[in-house]
Structure 1
Amino acid sequence: MADRFEIGNRVRVRLDDPVGHTRAPRYVRGHVGEVVERHGSHPLPDAVVAGTKPGPSTVYAVRFAAADVWGEGGHTVTVNLWDEYLEPADGA
C-alpha cells in the first residue's frame, strides 16, 4: 500500500471518539497539522488490542502549533499518528 501523505502535507486528525483503545490523543483530534516524517508501516494498535490481525499501516509524525491545540504557546508538538487517524486537511 502506498503512503497517502507526503512530508509537508497538511492533515486533519479525525474527530472520532472510538469505544476502546486508541493511540490518537484527544487533544489533537480535529486539529490540523503538518506531516514532518514517515516512520514506516506498523500494525494499528487499536486493532491489535481488539484482537484482530491488522495489516501494516503508515505511521506519520505530525507537527501541530501549540497555540492551535491549546490556545497559547509559541512552540510546536509532534505526535506519531497512524494513517487511519488522518484525513487531508482540505477534506479531499
Structure 2
Amino acid sequence: MTDATTDRFPPGARVRTVHHDPPHHTRLPRYARGKHGTVVEPEGRAPLADVRSQGREDAPVQQIYAVRFAARELWGDGDHHVVLDLFESYLEDEQP
C-alpha cells in the first residue's frame, strides 16, 4: 500500500475509465472503457503494461488502483460488483 497523500485518487473517489481503443495492447478491458466506478484503494506502483508489451524499457511507473464497478454499469445487468486493478492513466475524475 502507498501513502494516500501522494495518490491522485483517494479511496472512495468516483472515477470514470478512459474510452479509447489503442492500436496496441492495453490492460484496460474493453467492457470497462468509459465506465464509472469507485476507487477502493491504491495497490502499488508498476511499469505501465501497455508500454512494456511493446518491448520498450521506457514504461512510466504508475499507481495501480483497485476500482469497484457495479456489474450493471459494466454489462447492463447483475446485482453484484466487480473490482478491477487499473493503472492511473486509465482513470479520470468523474464528471458531474
Q: 2:69 aligns with which of 45, 64, 75?
A: 64
Give the alignment of 1:31-70 within 5 angstroms. Answer: 31-50=35-54, 51-70=56-75
Name 2:10's counterpart in structure 1: 6
TM-score, length of structure 1 as denominator length? 0.92
Identity in percent = 46
Question: Deviations 1:44-85 (Å, cap 9, x if unpaired)?
Answer: 000111214123100001000001111111100111100011
TM-score, length of structure 2 as denominator length? 0.88
Please list every run of 5 or more consecutive structure 1 residues that lacks an aligned counterpart in the other structure.
Answer: none
Deviation at 1:37, TM superposition (A): 1.4
Q: 2:84 aligns with which of 79, 87, 91?
A: 79
Name 1:19's counterpart in structure 2: 23
Please list every run of 5 or more consecutive structure 2 residues that lacks an aligned counterpart in the other structure.
Answer: 1-5
Question: Deviations 1:8-40 (Å, cap 9, x if unpaired)?
Answer: 000000001001100000001000000001111
Structure 1: 4+ residue segments shifted above 4 A = none
Name 1:88's counterpart in structure 2: 93
Counterpart CA distance in 2 for 1:38 and 1:3 is 8
